[in-house]
Structure 1
Amino acid sequence: MLRGHFECILDDKGRIKIPSKFLETLRGSGVNTLVMTFFDQSIYAYPKNTWEELESKALNLPLTNKSARRFKRMFFSSAIDVNLDSQGRITIPQILRQLANIEKNIVVLGNLDHIELWSSQNWLQEMDLLRQDEDKLAQEIESLGIKL
């Protein structure tokens, strides 16, 4: 599982080094390719096999459902494969950096089956919103069957 919170710096070539904790998990599972997409003001990076499972599920979404069509259009249209280099770095494509407002300072989060890349500014805003909605969020999560 991917979990934790790390701060990274984007280099001049648009690369970051994947935090060693995540790299261990990814390489230990035989992952060398991540699929990155823009979602929720950040970049989601999935191991290739996890991404393929998502694609399979998305194929079964009904074409007649407008929300399903819009989700697939948004989520899959910005998807780009990136390879881990020998030093554990990935290059973040320019279009995804622009969409996520990433310039230099990046917050890298483990979110169980994927990694999220946030601009430091967007992450601080997200944390403020999470703190403001903490009670409401806890109630919503409980309704999904998870008691905190």
Structure 2
Amino acid sequence: MPKQIRFLFGPCGGPAVESLFVGQHEHSLDAKGRIVLPASFRSAFEPSGFLIKHSEGCLALMTPDRFGEIAGRMSERSQSGGPHGRAAKRSFGAGAARVLPDKQGRIAVPEELRRFAGLQRECVVIGAIDEVEIWDAARWHEMNAQGESLLAAPESGIEAAEQV
């Protein structure tokens, strides 16, 4: 069963708690543009999360901590990156939305973000390790077929990882 897993890192460093998201869940947008988060993902987004435009044409839902890390890096880069860095920071911030799950675990996806990701009715919510992605179902099935063939390729490194 797909679930959210929390790993505690030992004395070797890193964050105290890291959320990892796994699994694939088919859901529908309702008439108000809301989508239900899988029950196993919900606790990571209490009281809120952040939706952003993903470069691959889907939406990424991030925990506040993960969003803060990325926003912090963008802020630092914008100070030394000139006009391009500032433009990227502006676009990132303007294209993001803070979302608050309701008691049924639904989040409202703003219309602009639904348009960006081509979300109509049928969607797929996937765990992408450090974030949750929301895809139009047809687009996801195309992307997933490509990803599965890449995963099967020897250069994916999966065989080596399994032997460790």
Please, which of 78, 92, 95 is the counterpart of residue 95 of structure 2?
A: 78
Matched position secondary structure for 1:7: strand
1:38–1:131 CA distance, 2 compared to 1 (3 A):
same
Distance 1:88 1:98, change over 3 A: same
- Which amino acid is the alignment partner of residue 161 of structure 2? K
- Higher RCO, 1 vs 2 (CA within 8 Å, ≥6 residues apart): 1
Query: Does 2:50 correspond to 1:35?
Result: yes
Moved more, 5-14 or 51-60: 51-60
- Which residue, out of 96, 102, 107, partners 2:124? 107
2:6 equivalent in structure 1: none
Pair 1:128–1:43, CA change in 2 (3 A) = same
TM-score, normalised with respect to structure 2: 0.73
Deviation at 1:49, TM superposition (A): 2.3
Cα separation, 2, equivalents of 1:108 and 1:117: 5
- Cα distance change, pair 55–137 in 1 and its aligned pair in 2 (3 A): farther
Q: Does 1:22 align with 2:41?
A: yes
Distance 1:121 1:137 in 2: 27
**Superposed CA offset, 1:64-93 (max 9, x none):** 595x66754554331111111122110011
- Provide the secondary structure at the position in 2 that maps to 1:13: coil
Please give the residue correspondences for 1:1-148 in structure 2 after superposition, counting only pairs within 5 Å. 1-23=20-42, 25-26=43-44, 31-39=46-54, 40-61=56-77, 62-64=80-82, 72=89, 74-134=91-151, 135=153, 138=156, 147-148=161-162
User: Alignment RMSD, CA only?
Assistant: 2.6
Structure of higher CA gyration radius:
2
Task: Count residues in correspondence.
Answer: 139
SS in 2 for 1:123: helix
- Distance in 2 of aligned mates of 1:75 and 1:55: 8
Q: Secondary structure at the match of 1:147?
A: helix
Matching residue's letter, 1:54:
I
**How far did 1:2 drift?**
1.6
Change (3 A) 1:128 1:96: same
Unaligned runs of 5+ in 1: none
- The residue identity in structure 2 corresponding to 1:19 is P
User: Which TM-score applies when normalising by structure 1?
Assistant: 0.80
Q: Which amino acid aligns with 1:3?
A: V
Local SS of the residue matching 2:118: coil
- The alpha-carbon deviation at position 147 of structure 1 amounts to 3.2
